[in-house]
Amino acid sequence: MKNILLMFLLCFMYSLQLFATEIPAMKITISKISPDFKTIVMGLFEDNETVNDGGVLQGKQVIDNIKQFSDFNGSFGEFFSTALPEEKNVIVVGLGKKDEWNENKELNIGGKIYCELSRLKIKKAAVLIEGSAANVAYGAFLRSFKFDKYKTKKDEKITEVEEITVLVKDEQLSNAERSFEHLRQEGESIFLARSFITEPPNILYPESYADHIKKELTKLGLEIEVLDKKQMEEKKMGALLGVAQGSSKEPKLVVIKWNGASKEQKPIAFVGKGITFDTGGVSLKPSRGMESMKYDMAGSATVVGVMHALAGRKAKVNAIGVVALAENAVGGNAQRPSDVVTSMSGQTIEVLNTDAEGRLILADALWYTQDRFSPKFMIDLATLTGAIVVALGNNEYAGLFSNNDELANRLIDAGNEVNEKLWRFPMNETYDKIIDSPIADVQNIAPAGSGGDSIMAAQFLQRFVNETCWAHLDIAGTAWHEKGTDICPRGAVGFGVRLLNKLVEKYYEAND
């Protein structure tokens, strides 16, 4: 018996070690302008013949070298390398048109610089770019995320960038350092979300996921409550439990609380779909591509990430995060197409397709959230439908559905600011009637040939919202990027953390 307990303890400790959050080893700092760097990256706007050299970095010589040796013209993301006296190397990066330069371009150029330094196998460099040093540093930070902890042999051909120093004038140093620290904290919240999404499903399943949410978030003073299967049965969460019944992994419902404002202030609420692996259940998915279904919990990871971000910057708001965690597996006890389940709301659901499971777990999570907390608003996030990818493509927009114009417009505005864009879809009674069931209160998919699958999924969710101000974000096309972007390597994006953090910061925090 002692040996069994010892083995269990060792396995548990090993899993904790494997599950460490991926924070890059690269050091990024802000410093005052100095010539004491071997490699310096400078920025040049398109068709401009002056480079910002801080008065000490031989900008004129750089321009002369460009004219003599290159057709470089400053197009956005274009690079030119040149050598200067005293063994200094200068890399010039094109900033594009000056009148198009903005915060998102600053982030993107930071990410491009990181990639170019990595390509050139340069371990340390300084960067001097016109604009916000904090944003440039943040872009490099976001792009530096990596997830390779399960590799037993590292690729010796890859040279890791070890240190980037972004240079500013003396009088700008204090503000730039403060701004970057604020952004870096948000970036660590994004990395937490990316790490959760990338973990394999034998490591990340409902119980282990709940444990690690608690481990990571209690460090910042967040209150965590975990409901187990028995508690969900007592609350009659039949929709969520029905999805989980085919798996040996028991479901969990994790409640995350941040109290940053007065007790009198109503909380805002974020609800996330956390299907840690989705086989489709009895309505089995095709085997090709099924491995990507480990990220069917990306909505929950975003909720965890944004709660981490709010606590990290001590946001002056009361916020609730609720994540519904389950595995949709094939088993002898799995629910069947045509089963009828009773949700926490009391509404009965005819399950016509077991692969439309995300909306089932969200039905109980949304009802639980509004019933217990009476929030100012609820926003749910889910990789809910493939149809949203058909409508919007991959990686450009997430789908937005809402019963409140003000909330929808604020979400769109916040998304545009941080370049996590949303496209709003219609909802109405005509669509809603399509999902009426002949034998239950509602069915979880529309009849064949109805079309508008993303809208039908949102209409289903709205049945469990009552009068609460609510929005649904379908992030199926934005949660994972196959090629990567300037600020995100290939893989998990952490989409929504920046968007929701900006939404709260701009519209919902208490004033001093």
Considering the domain architecture, whether residues 357 and 478 belong to the same structural domain is answered as: yes
pLDDT score of 65: 81
Q: Look at residue 8 in the predicted model and tell me its pLDDT.
A: 47
DSSP at 508: I
Looking at residue 10, its pLDDT comes to: 46
Quick one: 217 and 254 in the same domain?
yes
On whether both 301 and 333 belong to a single domain, the answer is: yes
Q: Are 209 and 329 in contact (CB under 8 A)?
A: no
Same structural domain for residues 242 and 213?
yes
**Pair 378, 366: CB distance under 8 Å:** yes
- Is 359 in the same domain as 498? yes
We report the CATH number of the domain holding residue 427 as 3.40.630.10
- To the nearest 10 degrees (0 to 180), the angle between helices 133-143 and 103-119 is 50
In-domain check, residue 323? yes
C-alpha radius of gyration, the chain, whole number: 25
Q: Is residue 82 part of a domain?
A: yes
Q: How many domains does the chain have?
A: 2
Domain at 158, CATH number: 3.40.220.10
Residue 18 falls within a domain, yes or no?
no
Same domain, 74 and 122: yes
3-state helix, strand, coil in the chain (%, to 5): 40, 20, 40
Longest dimension (CA), the chain: 82
Of the residues 121, 139, 171, which one is the last residue of a structural domain?
171
If asked whether residues 231 and 202 sit together in one domain, one would say yes
Based on the fold, state whether residues 163 and 214 are members of the same structural domain: no
Residues 285 and 355: beta-carbon distance below 8 Å: yes
The whole-angstrom separation of Cα 280 and Cα 329 is 7
Judgement on whether residues 117 and 238 belong to the same structural domain of the protein: no
Helix (H, G, I), strand (E, B) or coil at 406: helix
Residue 429 forms part of a structural domain? yes
Please check whether residues 138 and 258 belong to one and the same domain: no
**Which of 143, 171, 199 finishes a domain?**
171
**20 located within any domain:** no
Q: Global pTM?
A: 0.94
Give, for all 512 residues of the chain, the pLDDT tens digit: 555 544 444 444 445 445 555 565 689 999 998 878 889 999 999 977 666 666 556 667 777 788 777 888 899 999 999 887 766 788 999 999 999 999 999 999 999 999 999 999 999 999 999 889 999 999 999 999 999 999 998 777 777 899 999 999 999 999 999 999 999 999 999 999 999 999 999 999 999 999 999 999 999 999 999 999 999 999 999 999 999 999 999 999 999 999 999 999 999 999 999 999 999 999 999 999 999 999 999 999 999 999 999 999 999 999 999 999 999 999 999 999 999 999 999 999 999 999 999 999 999 999 999 999 999 999 999 999 999 999 999 999 999 999 999 999 999 999 999 999 999 999 999 999 999 999 999 999 999 999 999 999 999 999 999 999 999 999 999 999 999 999 999 999 999 999 999 999 999 997 65
**Do residue 124 and residue 265 come from a single domain?**
no
**Residue 12 falls inside a structural domain:** no
Looking at the domain assignment, is residue 4 inside a domain? no
Tell me: do 347 and 383 sit in the same domain: yes
Query: 50: helix, coil or strand?
Result: coil
The residues that are catalytic are 285, 359
In a domain, 183, yes or no: no
Which structural domain, as residue segments, surrounds residue 401? 191-508
Spatial strand order in the sheet of 378-382? 223-227, 252-259, 318-328, 268-278, 378-382, 470-474, 398-402, 422-424
